[in-house]
Amino acid sequence: MRLTLFALFLMGHRGFYRLSLSTLIAVYILILVGGVVRSTGAGMGCPDWPKCFGQWVPPTSVEQLPPDYKEFYSEYRHQKNVRFARYLTAFGFSETANRILTDETIREEADFNPVKTWIEYMNRLTGVVIGFLIFAVFVYALRFRKTDRKITWIAGFTFVLVGFQGWIGSIVVSTNLTPWTITVHMFLAMVIVALLIYLVHVARGGNSYHVPGIMPWVLGCMLLVFVQIFLGTRVREMVDEVANQISDRNAWIPALGITFVIHRSFSWLVLVFHAVLLVKLWKTEPLKGFALPLFVLILSTILSGMGMAWFAVPPFLQPVHLLLATLTFGVEFYLALQVNRTLKPVLS
């Protein structure tokens, strides 16, 4: 009888592992799609949320829209920003709230572009699918509420966070892609990735290894990657601003100034720290398998960044560069879990 119960318990975790892993992969796909949205300038392809131009299936031509659609959706977004500004003021960000309400560029409405509209709409559909997947993860996690309550709580928090992420996405649209809202949206996605990686880890068995002296290097490299992603978002914000002023893509990089120089120089620090970590991983048998994937990810991330600098920020490289950086962070977070002996194996 005990053996049968244990077998059912093990099968439950295997199913949860597969579902969590599939959801994690889907979230990374959404990060890639989000990068495509931004690199193509399709972020305002749908001026409202969750519908697109008030429809569940977006229009394909401007003739399907009313003549005053720009004025209508500009006012629609402004009213939403008024409500958002109240929240910001309540939390002490009155200056930010005031900028949102007084900046006239936020109220500007883009011309209808069917390609951009459908790119943004596909981004939203991908987000909806992930929302259902994470809800399924939470429902599945309820069966562990008596055997491992932490799994249930983290799965529930992830589902709540996805709902909040959807709301932030609507704010990104209503504020006409205000840079800091995009940055918040991005880092919430990274938190969701980390939570799903944790669920994948514990569902797989929660096993870890004690390797003296390696955890500080793992955490240090993970912190450097996190900072570098933040610097990258700042550079991306600058690119958006420069692109509005300069039409020649070849002049964008020289116009970015010190922000880009810091981001570029910081990559050397990231490279040096990871070189040390990779050597340590290669010499550690249980963790040796992490060395090659991390090497490929770090090298590919740096090369894609160099490609953007050398070839006038080609649109196809921007989402690839972002995906590689977030994948690197994810692998290192999983590595940190693997060398953390404080975690209890869930099947012990």
Best-predicted range by mean pLDDT (8-22, 119-133, 177-191)? 119-133
Asked if pLDDT for residue 9 goes beyond 50, the answer is no
Nearest residue to 130 via CA among 188, 79, 184, 85: 188
* pLDDT tens track for 100-123: 999 888 988 889 999 999 999 999
Q: What is the pLDDT of residue 224?
A: 95
Q: How far apart are CA 183 and CA 189, in angstroms?
A: 10
Burial of 167 (0-12, 13-18, 19+ CB in 10 A): exposed
Q: Say if residue 10's pLDDT is above 90.
A: no
Residue 4 — pLDDT band, cuts 50, 70, 90? very low
Q: Between 210 and 280, where is the model more confident? A: 280
Q: What are the CA-CA distances from residue 252 to residues 222, 296, 306 (Å)?
A: 29, 28, 14
Q: Grade residue 276 by pLDDT with cuts at 50, 70 and 90.
A: very high
Q: What is the pLDDT of residue 341?
A: 57
Q: What is the pLDDT of residues 74-90, one digit of tens each?
A: 999 999 999 999 999 99
Q: What is the mean pLDDT of residues 287-305?
A: 93
Q: Which residues pair with 52 in a beta bridge?
A: 55
pLDDT exceeds 60 at position 348: no
Tell me what the mean pLDDT of segment 333-346 comes to.
71
Distances (CA, A) of 151 to 139, 301, 304: 11, 32, 36
Q: Return the pLDDT at 171.
A: 92
Identity at 227, one-letter amino acid code: V
Q: Which of 5-14, 193-202, 235-244, 254-263 has the lowest mean pLDDT?
A: 5-14
Whether 72 has a pLDDT exceeding 80, the answer reads: yes
Report pLDDT for 33.
93
What is the mean pLDDT of the segment spanning 32-60? 89
pLDDT at 12: 56
Banded model confidence at residue 3, pLDDT cuts 50, 70, 90: very low
Read off the pLDDT of residues 147-160 as tens digits, 9 standing for 90 and up.
888 999 999 999 99
Reported pTM = 0.88
* Helices marked H in the chain: 2-39, 69-90, 94-102, 114-141, 149-174, 179-204, 215-245, 252-255, 258-282, 291-310, 317-338
Q: For the chain, what percent of residues have pLDDT higher than 90?
A: 61
Q: How far is CA 113 from the centre of its chain?
A: 25
- Domain residue spans of the chain: 1-205, 208-348
Taking the C-alpha atoms of residue 83 and residue 167, their distance in angstroms, rounded to an integer, is 13
What is the model's pLDDT at position 164?
94
pLDDT over 70, % of the chain: 94
Q: Does residue 244 register a pLDDT over 90?
A: no
